[in-house]
Amino acid sequence: VLGKEKHSACTEFNLEALKKVIRVFHPEDSVVSIQGTGHEIHAIGGGMLGIIAGPCAVENEQQIINIAKTVKAAGASFLRGGVFKLRTNPYSFQGMGIEGIKLLAAAKKETGLPLVSEITEIKQLEYFNGIDIIQVGARNMQNFSLLKELGKCGKPVLLKRSLASTAAELLMAAEYIMDEGNVNVILCERGLRTFETFSRSTLDIAAIPWLKQRTHLPIIVDPSHAAGDAALVPAVAKAAIAAGADGLMLEVHNDPEHALCDGEQSLTPDTFSDLMTDLKKYAELEKKRL
Ligand SMILES: [Mn+2]
């Protein structure tokens, strides 16, 4: 199975050259775990499903604390919230920046949930001391200078697959981070740009087992950005767990209609809570724990 990949468009691609990410060199599943404020462990991988939930963007203190409490009550293990937003439209809301980081810290203090937030430039790293997992967004998957710096940052990195890259290229990008000494890398499938228009992106469900056969790194799925439509998200989330994902990243908003970013794909607190109830059964089927 391993070795030269005949379907890869990239002729230089040879899995065995990737010494850090490949399972043959590390047969056991890697687990990324964060110690919570109450000494509890929040883990992704190795039989633990990590559920990262929260708004696309931090908007104000009341919003982020309210959503943090809601997703924690429903069983989420991490809080997400973007403060440095990479928006396709330059006139869209660009995020709260450093002020948003402070509000995330307040939400963590209130709930104990570890924080996941996206970095878009390495110069922002000094503001990420209080962030537990640093996210690299799809548009930066091959920003190799950013990846190398994050390889030295001492924090877990959540690396999202680009909407126009192969799964093999995702592994090569992860190798850039690991080659600098960072063993805490989580991969995230979030859908690809295709000719289909009903969804925002086309989720590559087969990439989950393909990646799991080749890498020991935990793999999560982002059904929100893949589907782009809250009505599709619960089914896609369940499919991801059934396909072997180690967790999910889900956008949840207390008032999706008035969200400053990605409201159309954000679950309400009620739909998120119902989904978590269903996911417990899917976790059992996969012999995993939420
Ligand atoms: Mn979003």
Residues of the chain with pLDDT under 70: 1-13
Q: Across the chain, what does the average pLDDT equal? A: 94
Residues in CB range of 123: below 8 A, 6 or more apart = none
> Residue 183 Cα, ligand 1 centroid: separation in angstroms?
26
Pairing of strands 185-189, 219-221: parallel
The pLDDT score that the predictor gives to residue 7 is: 53
The pLDDT score that the predictor gives to residue 99 is: 96
> Residue 266 Cα, ligand 1 centroid: separation in angstroms?
8
Alpha helices (H) in the chain, listed in sequence order: 61-74, 98-111, 144-150, 167-178, 207-214, 223-227, 233-242, 269-285
**DSSP output for 126-168:** GGGTT-SEEEE-GGGTT-HHHHHHHTTSSS-EEEEPPTT--HH
> Residue 229 Cα, ligand 1 centroid: separation in angstroms?
11
> Residue 252 Cα, ligand 1 centroid: separation in angstroms?
10
- Structure confidence by residue, pLDDT tens digits, 7-52: 554 445 677 789 999 998 899 999 999 998 878 999 999 999 999 9
pLDDT > 90 in the chain, percent: 89
